[in-house]
Chain A
Amino acid sequence: MNWITNYVRPRINSIFSRRETPDNLWTKCESCGTMLFHRELSDNLNVCTNCNHHMAITPRERFHALFDGGIFTEVAVPQPVADPLHFRDQKKYPDRLRTAQKDTGETEAMLVASGEIGRTPIIAAGQDFSFMGGSMGMYVGNAIIAAAEEAVKLHRPLILFSAAGGARMQEGILSLMQMPRTTVAVQMLKEAGLPYIVVLTHPTTGGVTASYAMLGDVHIAEPNALICFAGPRVIEQTIREKLPEGFQRAEYLLDHGMLDRVTPRTEMRDELITITRMMMGLPPAVKGELPAPELDAQDGAAPGGNEEPKT
């Protein structure tokens, strides 16, 4: 433990419930070492307020900040056959899955949601790196297919946030088959004339990069995100030379023509609203805090009338 946790522990324990242990009230920035208070950090979308280092964020946290009023509806994902290969390594695959479910409180490594951003209806899919490294198996494939089908059904753009160490090895060849499966999902969107925007976050590697993450109409990455097919270690072992500084990072890929933009997380929402509205032929968004539409209706308040209908 570090000095600050020890220092604050007694006082904070008395204020907060036992579930919020002092250990996760403070986070040390992996990049600059600054101790960041959890509320401050989550208000800033897990971006270090001192050095702008982008830390991991779960799809659920991201969606709370992304959708108007933090409101979204989860899109149901068909549950695949459990443990299709009866895979055993040092642990049984179902045990690894259960551990991941317990640790994250999520079903699997992708969350699909429907809602509005800046009053623009979208479907969003977010890959969860904290769930077995975001690895792509049948569930993730099903999630992307479900997201594309929902987008086509409701005629909405799909915004996908990628994050994965690669394939779900425990699903073997079926993990590999998600490359063509998710490509079919992307084709559904393209043929329906709907925008498909990929936000590549740290890290996006392997088969994920070599399928749906590189087939977007627009590719936006978060700063310094590692984006690659083969990881730097594998490459160093193959070519036996040191790789240049920043190799395979978002800015490097931007320089090499693989991305459209590198955008800080804190500016991402506005940018996504601007882009999707243009691609959907909608008038410019009204900037600023908008009340959540669903909440308005529930509260019986007047719907936010400062928007749109002038088309």
Chain B
Amino acid sequence: MTQYLDFEKPLAEIEGKAEELRAIARASEEEMDVSQEAEALDKKASALLADLYKSLTPWRKCQVARHPDRPHCKDYISALFTEYTPLAGDRNFADDHAVMGGLARFEDRPVVVIGHEKGDDTKSRIERNFGMARPEGYRKAIRLMDLADRFGLPVIALVDTPGAYPGKGAEERGQSEAIARSTEKCLQLRVPMVSLIIGEGGSGGAVAFATANRVAMLEHSIYSVISPEGCASILWKDSEKMREAAEALRLTAQDLQKLGVIDRIVPEPLGGAHRNRTATLDAARDAIGKLLDELVDQPPEDLMANRRRKFLDMGRGGLAA
């Protein structure tokens, strides 16, 4: 069953009607031909869907990016990689289930893959802490990136987190330091690094995985310094002003490409990634492959130097550039 977002309500009504009509026809004893009517409704629904998604407002993009049925890290790992061998733990305190990672093959090439996993039902969401990593998650990622660096394996990072976990233990065990070291490790790699933001790129918790040679975003994903709700409650003193905040923050893939913060936008099927997972995963595979191809022949020192240069130069132009 599709979970509709609030702005998809008219769509839900039309699709519901078509569904109902077909169900009545199926249940009815007499021959009932509803196909014409149902098809008319289908047509109306797809026209409306196209219209709704033609130009999503930034706030609606936030909603799509957070859609519970959106493919998550583990879906990408199982669809895009073979021989995935998860590697666990930070060798220090714990294994953080908000962060997945390990060795795998991407189109036969051995790589290290890391990513935030949000979970997709109550049980797994709690286990994954809704994709909010603790210091152990970042330290596991640092360990895996270090392993990649020493064995010459490219790093592919899948970013999908509301942010790093704001908890007591996380603070006591050095959340800040762990994030800082993870970003630092990204900048030290002498192997190619490609990051793909698949849903939410939430603040420092995302940067720690997204300081890459190439950063791509799914068409309706978001990447921001603060959640629109958080920004609204600070600057507007009203968390209900999230629409305005989402607008002002320029957190969409389209704006971030204009700002030169990301390199590529991965198209999503009509109606968002969750409406056609296969198409989404195929597009992601294609994009990661192309971005990796741009990097694999660069000498190790250049990969590191170019990555640093890219971030040093970032933001020099602003939106007008």
Interface residues of A (CB under 8 A from B): 80-90, 138, 141, 145, 167, 169, 171-177, 179-181, 183-184, 186-187, 206-207, 209-215, 227-230, 234-235, 238-239, 241, 243, 247-248, 256-258
Contact = CB atoms under 8 A, between A and B. Distances in A.
A87 B316 CA distance: 16
A215 B180 contact: yes
Interface of B: 164-168, 170-177, 179-181, 183-184, 186-188, 203-204, 207-208, 211, 223-226, 231, 234-236, 244-245, 248-251, 256, 259, 261, 308, 311-312, 314-321
A207 B311 contact: no
A229 B244 contact: no
Given A235-B167, A258-B174, A84 B224 contact: no
Given A176-B224, A187-B308, A238-B167, A81 B317 contact: yes
B240 to A, nearest CB: 14
A197 to B, nearest CB: 16
Given A85-B318, A89-B244, A235-B171, A184 B204 contact: no
Contact of A173 (B170, B184, B245, B259): B259
Nearest to B247: A88
Given A173-B259, A181-B314, A229 B176 contact: yes
Contact of B171 (A84, A167, A230): A230
A174 B180 contact: no
Given A173-B261, A207-B203, A235-B168, 12 more contacts: A81-B318, A87-B248, A90-B235, A167-B203, A167-B226, A171-B225, A177-B311, A177-B314, A180-B207, A181-B312, A206-B204, A248-B171
Contacts of A258: 174, 176-177
Contacts of A90: 235-236
Contact of B211 (A84, A86, A180, A238): A180
A183 B165 CA distance: 22
Given A173-B261, A180-B207, A88 B315 contact: no
Contacts of B224: 172-173, 176
B203 A169 contact: no
Given A80-B315, A239-B167, A172 B177 contact: no
B174 to A, nearest CB: 5
Nearest to A87: B248
Contact of B259 (A88, A145, A174, A207): A174
Contacts of B172: 256
A256 B171 CA distance: 10
A187 B164 CA distance: 24
B207 A84 contact: no
A115 B223 CA distance: 40
18 contacts: A81-B315, A81-B321, A82-B318, A87-B248, A90-B235, A169-B225, A173-B225, A183-B180, A183-B184, A187-B184, A207-B203, A210-B208, A214-B181, A215-B184, A229-B204, A241-B168, A256-B172, A256-B173
B235 A169 contact: yes
Given A81-B320, A229-B164, A172 B250 contact: yes
